[in-house]
Structure 1
């Protein structure tokens, strides 16, 4: 009896690239170069535990593409981390950056651990040793490879990484740019924490505002009163749900690894998040119905399904049962290639991960620019703009004989903060990128937004290679 082949995210991504290439005239050798990983670094190091015992920790950093430098991609801490997963995630970063016109190559990293089983001191030792291994092989640096947070990591780990890098490289003036997603105190950027979830919101909002696309799904344009189910209430899922709710959508289901909540009346996301933080789950939450097998929530009726947890969540096993009309991939690779074919055949709109969760890398790009320039966004011009607006208001008052109230005056002369500029740049990126990929979909007469996204990304990557004179 033949052994069933294990799922490979990397093979899935390559399959999407091959599908997109059918609609392009691209040199076969160049296509193969684009698909393959440039550099794969797998390493092991020891961790001495508090009781004197040792264990061997396995780490990865994979640079999929160096057609633009630095390479960019997060670091995840998870027992699911293996070479195939990291290769697939690194490849997705390449196409994601190209799609939203962020000038990075693609990379990804990971450590094969369950971070919940280690205390803070152990995690710090693991993170600093992981960083030291990357430094030894020149797999990190503001001009080489710039990591960021991912599943199982956050601003704390990024602070340890930048501190370790600076200790090894005291002469590098732009050392803070070796990693993004840092705390504000370590030259992070205001708005980075919610950037991916905010980007998911902007992307879904843009998609549902296209009248002809909504008509094809039997929906009215806009987010108002649309029902939403979110899988995962971590950083991305929480902010996605929060902003969708605030825009008028109704979140009726939230799934987590240890159970979910279903409530057709609508879920208060802030209250649920607070309960989850206090009780480590949703069990016992006083409103709605607790669903023990939370993955079943993916198949419940709703307008918009937002898988914001891990990859490989919608497969051939459950694709035919999905009732949502729009699937917004907030996580990386939550819908397999085979499952997507089933969804498209049923007339669903799948908003691909490589576009929808690009908010994180977009704002990471802004943070990297801030670190290279060594000045906060808006710091130089804010007071000048405020004074300019103040004079303009005085001119209007003198011409009309009417006076603004203090509240109106304060609102109108307020200069843009770093956060304002970051969110404005993120919104512009997500809006223009969706318009471009949706236009490409219609231009090529495609059903799949993902295929259109890969075509657009490949076109931009091909130009990078051909302008270098490497391929005809």
Structure 2
């Protein structure tokens, strides 16, 4: 794939650099800042697994970046790109992300260095279960210790294997279901988790474009409707992000996948592109669209909002100056390098940072964790009460006015909230509140920092106060 980072900074170094820029605007001394910045625990393991007639030694990691809140929280990815620095960077981002959206977790991350496409489902299950048993032996997993979730290359299926393995090794743990999130609904998962990150991206950008002063500087009107959007990546995050933008009235003018990009000023129908993709094996040659065999070219097309939702470092110093978008929403982790960030900011592009924008997944994971600890489905206690209360209100209105509410209106009003309604509502409130906090800090900087710096300041302030209140710094 042609999209690549040509700079010397590693992903972890970029995260540390962003931290240092923000730390200069906080009141905490060097010792507190050093503690916030440090990765507290790093587990690097190698374990044997019988694959066919051969024994393979699998390399894997789990990093707990911060213990200022417990449990630690973060996904597990299966990828040949997994290494210690990448996992450390992602764990650090999780710490800051949780603080920004007021989710009481420390950051964590895990990874297994494999190409999952080369293994059968049976072999993947053996690898996942052995990895889980290693985490159990080292005390790196548990409802109050460290709670994994799906990430690149993993899904609800792998989480169910983790849960089953953990439960078998901890038979007396009444809260065992809360040892992992992103599970199937039948295993204690929460409705709304699948689309959570993409929906969170939508809520975050929608809130950002609601401020008239900010949009005026960009030469844009407020609101999502009519905005021209390019989405890079049609995995779980990218697909749901594109779906919600299209439903809100935005125009999808570009879509980018690993083997190319398509662009149309008239707009692209997401469902039609997906159907074409299933038929042909890719998005290229979609009727009415311009093809780009180099996916990097898709990032440089004219649009209002660009949403990189797949890979790290796709916008770097060599292509940043060619980006035409006025707003970039980082749906993926680390899609913009540090050097590119400076170029984009100098051009006046509004960058909504990953450390805030893709926090929808961990926010809904938090809801799932709470559900598992309480062992009560959201809405179970209040749904019928709300249904009955709304029915009484309608009866009163009809009695007082002498008019009957239509069947459609009655059905709409009487519907009490289901679990997915409550989850989406909680996510929306979280993303709106967090953006307003970040924006207030950004405004207070008076041009001395961008939104990314403001987001890191927001996180550092909350974590620093937590450490102070723990009393560990006499």
TM-score (norm 1): 0.97
Deviation for aligned residue 1:132: 0.9
**CA–CA distance in 1 between the matches of 2:351 and 2:231?**
15
**Secondary structure, in 3 states, of the residue corresponding to 1:272?**
helix
Are 2:7 and 2:316, in contact at CA under 8 Å, matched by a contact in 1? no
2:195 match: 194
**CA–CA distance in 1 between the matches of 2:80 and 2:288?**
33
1:247 match: 248
**CA–CA distance in 2 between the matches of 1:105 and 1:254?**
34
* Greater Cα shift, 158-167 or 287-296: 287-296
**CA–CA distance in 2 between the matches of 1:276 and 1:187?**
33
1:344 partnered with 2:310: no
Residues 338-372 of structure 1: CA distance to partner in whole angstroms, max 9, x if unpaired?
Answer: 11111000100000001100000000000000000
2:371 match: 370
Residues 115-169 of structure 1: CA distance to partner in whole angstroms, max 9, x if unpaired?
Answer: 1222211111111111111111010111000010111111111111111111111
**Secondary structure, in 3 states, of the residue corresponding to 1:454?**
helix
Are 1:238 and 1:273, in contact at CA under 8 Å, matched by a contact in 2? no
Return the match for 2:35 from 17, 33, 39.
33
**Match runs of 1:115-154 below 5 Å:** 115-154=116-155
Are 2:71 and 2:106, in contact at CA under 8 Å, matched by a contact in 1? yes
**Secondary structure, in 3 states, of the residue corresponding to 1:311?**
coil
Could you tell me which runs of 5 or more consecutive residues in structure 1 were left unpaired when the two chains were aligned: none
Deviation for aligned residue 1:308: 0.3
2:3 match: none
TM superposition outliers: structure 1 runs of 4+ over 6 Å = none
**CA–CA distance in 1 between the matches of 2:211 and 2:345?**
18
Deviation for aligned residue 1:217: 0.5
**Secondary structure, in 3 states, of the residue corresponding to 2:27?**
coil
Are 1:386 and 1:415, in contact at CA under 8 Å, matched by a contact in 2? yes
**Secondary structure, in 3 states, of the residue corresponding to 1:379?**
coil
**CA–CA distance in 2 between the matches of 1:124 and 1:30?**
41
Deviation for aligned residue 1:6: 4.6
**Match runs of 1:319-338 below 5 Å:** 319-338=320-339
Are 2:148 and 2:179, in contact at CA under 8 Å, matched by a contact in 1? yes
1:450 match: 452
1:176 partnered with 2:177: yes
**CA–CA distance in 2 between the matches of 1:347 and 1:464?**
34
**CA–CA distance in 2 between the matches of 1:41 and 1:271?**
45
**Secondary structure, in 3 states, of the residue corresponding to 1:331?**
coil
| Residues 1:258 and 1:73: Cα distance change in structure 2 (over 3 Å) | same
Deviation for aligned residue 1:289: 2.4
**CA–CA distance in 2 between the matches of 1:128 and 1:6?**
36
**CA–CA distance in 2 between the matches of 1:9 and 1:419?**
35
**CA–CA distance in 2 between the matches of 1:163 and 1:287?**
48
**Match runs of 1:388-399 below 5 Å:** 388-399=389-400
Residues 208-235 of structure 1: CA distance to partner in whole angstroms, max 9, x if unpaired?
Answer: 1111001001111111111111111000
1:271 match: 272
**Secondary structure, in 3 states, of the residue corresponding to 2:423?**
helix
2:10 match: 8
**CA–CA distance in 2 between the matches of 1:155 and 1:370?**
17
* Greater Cα shift, 115-124 or 447-456: 115-124
Deviation for aligned residue 1:285: 3.2
Are 1:8 and 1:88, in contact at CA under 8 Å, matched by a contact in 2? no
1:469 match: 471
The total of aligned residue pairs comes to: 468
Are 2:261 and 2:297, in contact at CA under 8 Å, matched by a contact in 1? no
**Match runs of 1:391-410 below 5 Å:** 391-410=392-411
Query: Could you say what the CA RMSD is over the residues aligned between the two structures, in angstroms?
Result: 1.3
Are 2:74 and 2:148, in contact at CA under 8 Å, matched by a contact in 1? yes
**Secondary structure, in 3 states, of the residue corresponding to 2:311?**
coil
* Greater Cα shift, 15-24 or 357-366: 15-24
| Residues 1:172 and 1:279: Cα distance change in structure 2 (over 3 Å) | farther
**CA–CA distance in 2 between the matches of 1:331 and 1:444?**
26
**Match runs of 1:217-236 below 5 Å:** 217-236=218-237
**CA–CA distance in 2 between the matches of 1:439 and 1:324?**
24
* Greater Cα shift, 358-367 or 112-121: 112-121
* Greater Cα shift, 313-322 or 416-425: 313-322
**CA–CA distance in 1 between the matches of 2:189 and 2:41?**
28
Residues 373-425 of structure 1: CA distance to partner in whole angstroms, max 9, x if unpaired?
Answer: 00100001111111111111111111111111222111111110000000000
